[in-house]
Amino acid sequence: MKLRLLALGSALVLTACGGGGLDTPIAVATPSPAPTAAPTAAPAKAVQWQAQLPAAGSAVCFDFDAGSEVACSTANWDLKLASAARGVSLWSNSGESGSGKGGVFGSPFDYTWSALQKWQAGLLDPTTGQAIPDTLYLKDTADSVFTGSNGIQSKAFEYGVGGSNDHKLYPNFRVFLVTTDHSAASATGNSTSPVYALQMTGYYGGPSGTTSGYPTFRWVDRSVAGAPVRNEQVDARTGWVYFNLTSGQAVAASDAWHIAFNRYNVKLNSGSSGTGKVGGFLAKTPAGFYAADGSTPVAAKFTENNILDTTKSELTASDLQLPTQASQWKKDSVASKLNPAYQGNYPGKLDFGWYSYYPVANGAIVAHSQVANPDRGTLLRSAEGNSYARVRLKEIRYATPGNVSSQQTWQFEFETLPASK
299-331, pLDDT tens digit by residue?
Answer: 999 999 999 999 999 999 999 999 888 889 999
Q: How many domains does the chain have?
A: 2
pLDDT of residue 22: 24
pLDDT of residue 135: 86
The answer to whether position 317 is within a domain reads: yes
**Both 173 and 240 in a single domain?**
yes
The answer to whether position 265 is within a domain reads: yes
CA angle, 380 as apex, 353 and 411 as ends, to 5°?
55
pLDDT of residue 252: 97
**Both 259 and 290 in a single domain?**
yes
- Rg from Cα positions in the chain: 24
The answer to whether position 325 is within a domain reads: yes
**Both 279 and 365 in a single domain?**
no
**Both 233 and 185 in a single domain?**
yes
**Both 200 and 322 in a single domain?**
yes
- Greater confidence (287 vs 187) lies with 287
Q: Exposure string (b/e) for 334-344, b if CB count within 10 Å is 16 or more? A: bbbbbbbebee
**Both 210 and 224 in a single domain?**
yes
**Both 173 and 320 in a single domain?**
yes
Which of 266, 301, 333 is the endpoint of a domain? 333
- Greater confidence (17 vs 175) lies with 175
**Both 235 and 359 in a single domain?**
no
The answer to whether position 15 is within a domain reads: no
Task: List, for residues 82-97, the tens digit of each pLDDT value.
Answer: 998 778 999 999 988 9
Which of 333, 351, 379 is the endpoint of a domain? 333
Which of 317, 333, 349 is the endpoint of a domain? 333
Q: Average pLDDT of the chain?
A: 87
**Both 172 and 248 in a single domain?**
yes
Q: Across-strand partners of 179?
A: 195, 279
- Provide the residue range defining the domain that includes 68: 41-115+337-421
* Count of other CB atoms within 10 angstroms of residue 239: 11
**Both 327 and 342 in a single domain?**
no
The answer to whether position 387 is within a domain reads: yes
The answer to whether position 13 is within a domain reads: no
**Both 329 and 343 in a single domain?**
no
The answer to whether position 407 is within a domain reads: yes
pLDDT of residue 258: 97
Task: List, for residues 30-56, the tens digit of each pLDDT value.
Answer: 333 333 333 344 445 799 999 999 999
The answer to whether position 8 is within a domain reads: no
**Both 325 and 353 in a single domain?**
no
